[in-house]
Amino acid sequence: MDRLVCFDLDNTLIDRDGAFRSWARWWTNRAGFGTDAADWLVAHDNGGYRPRAELFADFEQRFGAAISVDDYHRDHPTFTWADDAVLTGLAALRSAGWRLAVVTNGTVIQQTGKLTQTGIADVVDYCCISEAVGVRKPDPRIFAVAAQGAGATLGGGWMVGDHPAYDTAGGQAAGLKTIQVGSHHPEPPADHHVPSILEAFPLIR
């Protein structure tokens, strides 16, 4: 059976924080606020891990304007993009015989929007979104679901991501080799640490 490469989405395959910044500037500008409102959203976003309802309630208290969570889930994905080199790298892995899965924690509406908008959905075998499958990283069961969805085996596979607990520790718990993307070199140590996704592709063999 074919071997599997799992990829995290946010801040691994795409610059999620950059897209959030663009959305924040667009929303606050449209609502008539200055750059301080966008800067506040970026500063309190916590990489997307802060619950949106909580973030937007605090924003309303401070700036007096309500941001709809539903509108955010619809609008934010339209600010995401994938670099051509990332799409090319994914396509090359697939041509080399790997099965590819995106394994991402998040809501179906938000993550599906990003996967479609960026074109990533078109170049992978399966997109595993935690809300859809009922299990979240770092639970190793989500990687088993990804392998099944992609038609691959976990043995000899890889997990590539930016989060030490969700991606690296989660992948290791599922028996995958791991590549940690980003500037941190935290515990647990991954098999490889690289500054960006582009340096990860040649390590997968």
Minimum CB distance to Mg ion, residue 91 (Å): 21
CA distance 74 to 29: 18
Residue 158 has phi, psi (to 5 degrees) of -130, 150
Minimum CB distance to Mg ion, residue 13 (Å): 9
**Residue 157, C-beta contacts closer than 8 angstroms, at least 6 positions apart:** 3, 4, 5, 6, 147, 175, 176, 177
Closest residue to Mg ion using C-beta atoms: 10
Minimum CB distance to Mg ion, residue 60 (Å): 27
Minimum CB distance to Mg ion, residue 47 (Å): 8
Minimum CB distance to Mg ion, residue 104 (Å): 8
Name the residue nearer to Mg ion (CB basis): 28 or 104. 104
Name the residue nearer to Mg ion (CB basis): 37 or 164. 164
Name the residue nearer to Mg ion (CB basis): 47 or 155. 47
CA distance 187 to 52: 28
CA distance 46 to 98: 33
Q: Which helix (H) or strand (E) holds 150?
A: helix 141-150
CA distance 160 to 10: 11
Residues found near Mg ion in the complex (CB under 5 A): 8, 10-11, 162
Length of the chain: 205
